[in-house]
Structure 1
């Protein structure tokens, strides 16, 4: 996993569906202090999955880059260690 960054996504807008360009990522819920435990999501062979904490439906969209979402603005740009 060295040299591989896992994108983090958040749902401050309360969207029912967020399209992402990766199949492995972290869901953080919303921005702190309203976040939930940051959970690793792996879509595997599937193209969509629901976060068990915030119920956001994530759907893989191969036309998006790993730093893009639809709707825009759901990428977490800095994650504290």
Structure 2
């Protein structure tokens, strides 16, 4: 099964908010093994949402694309199997 469509984000740096270019996302908290349960978040008609596990505030920014984040480096990429 391919893991496509919903971008995953992490907050290892402890930023109070992260600007992203998606309204549907998966929050994993921090990079494994320090992650929390991976939760699907949907902003719907709003432009921001707070993760109930790590309290990260995600803000929609339509000028960002793909895995771009502000601050940079908050997109999580699933490691590829060998």
TM-score using structure 1 length: 0.90
Separation (CA, whole Å) in 2 of partners of 1:8 and 1:79: 12
Q: How does 1:1-81 map to 2 (within 5 A)?
A: 5-78=5-78
Unaligned 5+ runs, structure 2: none
Q: Deviations over 1:7-64 (max 9, x none)?
A: 0000000000000000001000001111000000100000001000000000000000
Question: Which has a greater percent of strand?
Answer: 2
Separation (CA, whole Å) in 1 of partners of 2:9 and 2:69: 9
Separation (CA, whole Å) in 2 of partners of 1:39 and 1:79: 18
Figure out how many residues of one structure are paired with residues of the other and give that number: 80
Aligned Cα RMSD in Å? 2.0
Separation (CA, whole Å) in 1 of partners of 2:68 and 2:58: 13
Q: CA deviation at 1:78?
A: 1.5
> After the TM superposition, which segments of 4 or more aligned residues of structure 1 sit over 3 Å from their partners?
none
Unaligned 5+ runs, structure 1: none
